[in-house]
Amino acid sequence: MTSASAAAPAPLPVDDGAPAGAPRERAPRAPREQDNRPRAPKRDLDGWVLLDKPVGLTSTQAVSVVKRLFGAKKAGHAGTLDPLASGCLPIAFGEATKTVPYVMDGRKTYRFTVRFGIETDTDDAEGKEVAASDSRPTDDEIVAALAQFQGEIMQVPPAYSALKIGGERAYDLAREGTEVKLEARPVTIFSLAMVERPDADHAVLEARCGKGTYVRAIARDLGRMLGSKGHVCALRRTCVGPFLEEDLVPLDDLRARVEAGEEALMEALDPVEFALEELPQIAVTPPDAHRLRCGQSVILRGRDAPIVDGHAAIFCQNALIAIGDVEAGEIYPHRVFNWARKAVMRPKPPRRDAPQD
């Protein structure tokens, strides 16, 4: 007879730090597609791909897929989208990564559906129910409440967010069962309107907001204000800064372009300067461009010199060479672009202006 001490130990349960039933930050990875084709060497590539991110992918996963399709050496994105969200995920290659902060600081537009009657711990459909209500608001009640969310308001971010508390991500602390208390922060919501009411349980809203605004918090606070509770059950980002929904490229379309050839793929790549359309643009001479590229300031001379204050995009002979701060007629460069290598991209016609308030 085998003694108990000699018996093989039972397998231990896997502990990933999340309490039972708690949502996971990352969606399950989809099985990798087998691709036995030889990999092309990575290349220097500059520009933007305006991806229409599908539901189910994290932003990091989406960037990895697009970077591999283009064979780019360097890539990043301008603003995280949750796995359950779809829509505008601007992906920057090469020199375009230097313009990411200007895109992230721009206005964003979201179309999202609020599910009334249930509040969750994550403020979206992935979370567990923490409160419920049988009350449902009328259309007039929703419209009246939305007016109180416009302008500069104080907003408490969701407990399941990437904000840090004592060096730890809030969502990591929440998963561990730690009570997360985040302070209210000022955010700006330029417009918030109801665009559809499919049924008593749901309302489709559209928000145009500034940096740092959490749409999940809008749904949570709206549900509480109306006495009906609520959470986001669907979310799509339609605009980020100068990048509009009409310019988005689906992932399947990019895959098809790879099969069609290099020319078709490059047609999906937008120039670096598209990210800076909302900045004033200043043209300088080649000697001044050289000084700016060396990190030196230059003075705007002549009676036709533009009157600009603050950030500006600097061009020379139609090429973007720097982003600088203009003070009292002098340009101080703080982002300089390397055009020693030829950019691989197609020219595009002038874009229409984004909708204004």
Contacts of residue 183, Cβ cutoff 8 Å, sequence gap at least 6? 156
CB contact at 8 A, 271 and 345: yes
Length of the chain: 357
Sign of CA dihedral 281, 283, 286, 290: negative
Q: Where are the beta strands (DSSP E) in the chain?
A: 47-53, 75-77, 85-93, 108-116, 118-120, 129-132, 151-155, 164-165, 168-169, 185-199, 202-209, 230-240, 249-250, 281-283, 298-299, 310-316, 319-327, 330-336
Does the annotation mark 253 as catalytic? no
Spatial neighbors of 147 by CB under 8 A, at least 6 apart, are none
Burial of 294 (0-12, 13-18, 19+ CB in 10 A): exposed
CA distance 283 to 242: 21
- Which tokens is 339 given? 């055009």
Pairing of strands 108-116, 230-240: antiparallel
Full 3-state SS string of 137-181: CCHHHHHHHHHHHCEEEEECCCCCCCCEECCEEHHHHHHCCCCCC
Which residue has tokens 């896997």? 14
Query: First CA to last CA across the chain, in angstroms?
Result: 82
Please tell me which residue in 16, 35, 52, 82 is annotated as part of the active site.
Answer: 82
The rounded distance, in Å, linking the Cα atoms of 72 and 54 is: 21
Q: Mapping DSSP to helix (H, G, I), strand (E, B) and coil, where does residue 330 land?
A: strand
The span from the CA of 341 to the CA of 74, in Å, is: 15
Q: Catalytic residues, which ones?
A: 82
